[in-house]
Amino acid sequence: MEVENASERGAGALLWRVGERALLPICVFSMALALPYNVNGDGAARFDALDALLRYGVLSTSRYSLIGPLFSAPLYLLGAALGYAEGGVAFFNLTVFILGLIAFHLLLRRHLEPGTLRRFLLLLTVGSMFPAALASYYGETFTAIMVAAGLAAALLATQRAGRVAGWAAVALGVANTPATLLGLALALLGRVWARRRLRYALVGAGALALIAGESLARRGALFATVYTSNAGAKTIMPYSGLPGFSYPFLLGVVAILLSFGKGLLFYTPGLFLPLKGRLQALGERGAALWRLHASWLLFVTGLVLIYASWWDWGGDWFWGPRFFLIASVPASLALAIWVSRPSPRLWLNLLALGLLTLAIWVGVDGAIFNQADLQVCQVNHYQYGAFCDFTLEFSALWRPLINLSLYGPGATFAHVESFQPRAVLLALCAPLAWLSIAAPLLRAIASQMRALVVALWPLALKLRTGWRW
């Protein structure tokens, strides 16, 4: 009987391991089938610029960089050959993301345990802001993957060619979104300070050269003034309608970090987990990971500092804080490590489990619900846009839960939230991903709860004696 039970446990463990390894490609495939791909908003402007160049040989003077769209040219040509060029580029961000997952796997496999690496990649796929970003042709995915994976190559690659390629990718990613220059500057200053080498400034010079060269070729000026000359509509908000960097800096920082509709605290919960102590336990591998994680954090800090004063710090009509998509990478790494290495303290493990649950909800909400039932924020030139930015009831992240409490799980809720049948694929993948990622935490919490019950049981028995009605 014992041999039979051991055999059953062995078969169950093998099945679990196979399921864990298969879950990531299954979730990626589900996302590829289920996301509502589109080319609209800023993505339409990028497509028009690429279309003008490839179809007519004309360099558009639009305000958006052509660097990222140029990399989508093969998809454009494939789509054009099939009669629908937009349909080709609609899958560009998904393609970039998949290549990014492969790059992270190759670069981090020597520094992370296999289970931790799988959880990191699965969190990026299911428990981050990426699912919402992949459905569009916006530029943030290209910048986020190029910079995050580029920094990983620059700091972790064993060959000089790999490190050079990494820094080149970082420069391209930054040039695609010029506002990220301050993030690059802080990341490079961190490397200069740590290594006492000034040569890292060449990366910043390369990014600046790309930005200036593109602007000169397309607009006849070294640097475009898009970030300082445009403005939004005048609304009830006191600082609306002002151009450029007119938003009060402190208010911008608080909004970017804490607002219900756009706050990083809610959209990237793992970003705020301390990681240095846990990485120190990994020795040299952990030291290398900490250097990478610190570089990612410095880059994100630069984004917060530069966007805090911009009038459109929230990213306009788009789900979540889209300018800070790269923050999902260090957030996912921190959460994966916390989950994989449970704390001896029960409350910390419960906290990590709560943050993991929130991260999975972020991915589900962005991919399935997005901004459904929030059109009120667009009325009359976004007169009520602040509701979607700041209030819990109209936050894209929390609106589905509000509607669920109002209408219950049923046809009315599905209609209000524009639930599509294809979303079932992602809805099924999310709980499986949560269970796979949370497994080490759940085992640790169960053990700690048993120990707590055993410790408190004599006290409970003592307290229940002597009571009378």
pTM, two decimal places: 0.93
Return the pLDDT at 225: 61
Matching residue, tokens 């700091």: 155
Return the pLDDT at 7: 43
Give mean pLDDT, residues 159-164: 93
CB contact at 8 A, 433 and 122:
yes
The candidate with the shortest Cα–Cα distance to 178, out of 217, 137, 212, 219, is 212
- Ramachandran bin of 220, using left for φ above 0, alpha for ψ from -120 to 50, beta for the remaining angles: left
CB contact at 8 A, 100 and 145:
yes
Sequence-distant (6+) residues with CB within 8 A of 380 are: none
Cα distance between residue 179 and residue 322, in whole Å: 13
pLDDT digit string, tens, across residues 257-295: 999 999 999 999 999 999 988 888 888 889 999 999 999
CB contact at 8 A, 351 and 335:
no
101 backbone dihedrals φ, ψ, rounded to 5°: -60, -45
Number of alpha helices (DSSP H) and beta strands (DSSP E) in the chain: 24, 0
| Chain length of the chain | 469
Among the residue ranges 15-29, 188-202, 304-318, the one predicted with the least confidence is: 15-29
Return the pLDDT at 466: 64
Tokens of 288: 């290398």
pLDDT digit string, tens, across residues 216-264: 888 887 776 666 677 888 888 898 888 888 999 999 999 999 999 999 9
pLDDT digit string, tens, across residues 30-40: 988 889 999 99
pLDDT digit string, tens, across residues 35-87: 999 999 889 999 999 999 999 999 988 888 999 999 999 999 999 999 898 99
Return the pLDDT at 14: 66
Return the pLDDT at 297: 97
CB contact at 8 A, 291 and 154:
no
pLDDT digit string, tens, across residues 367-421: 999 999 999 888 888 888 899 999 999 999 999 999 999 999 999 999 999 888 8
Give mean pLDDT, residues 138-161: 96
- Ramachandran bin of 41, using left for φ above 0, alpha for ψ from -120 to 50, beta for the remaining angles: left
Contacts 24+ apart (CB under 8 A), 437-442: 437/119, 437/122, 437/123, 437/127, 437/336, 437/339, 437/356, 437/360, 438/339, 438/353, 438/356, 440/115, 440/339, 440/340, 440/341, 440/342, 441/339, 441/342, 441/349, 441/352, 441/353, 441/356, 442/353
Matching residue, tokens 């920094």: 151
pLDDT digit string, tens, across residues 98-141: 999 999 999 999 999 999 999 999 999 999 999 999 999 999 99
Cα distance between residue 343 and residue 350, in whole Å: 10
Cα distance between residue 286 and residue 282, in whole Å: 5
Return the pLDDT at 424: 86
Matching residue, tokens 């269970």: 435
pLDDT digit string, tens, across residues 451-464: 888 888 777 777 76
CB contact at 8 A, 88 and 76:
yes
Matching residue, tokens 């949560």: 434
The percentage of residues in the chain with a pLDDT greater than 90, rounded to a whole number, is: 71
pLDDT digit string, tens, across residues 187-228: 999 999 998 889 999 999 999 999 999 988 888 877 766 666
Cα–Cα distances in Å, from 66 out to 100, 182, 187, 353?
A: 20, 20, 24, 41
Cα distance between residue 188 and residue 151, in whole Å: 10
- The Cβ of residue 268 has, within 10 Å, a number of other Cβ atoms equal to 29
Return the pLDDT at 8: 44
CA 466 to chain centroid, in Å, comes to 57
pLDDT at 18 over 80: no
- The Cβ of residue 345 has, within 10 Å, a number of other Cβ atoms equal to 10
Return the pLDDT at 13: 66
Return the pLDDT at 433: 94
Tokens of 396: 């894209």
pLDDT at 443 over 80: yes
pLDDT at 4 over 70: no
DSSP assigned state of 226: H
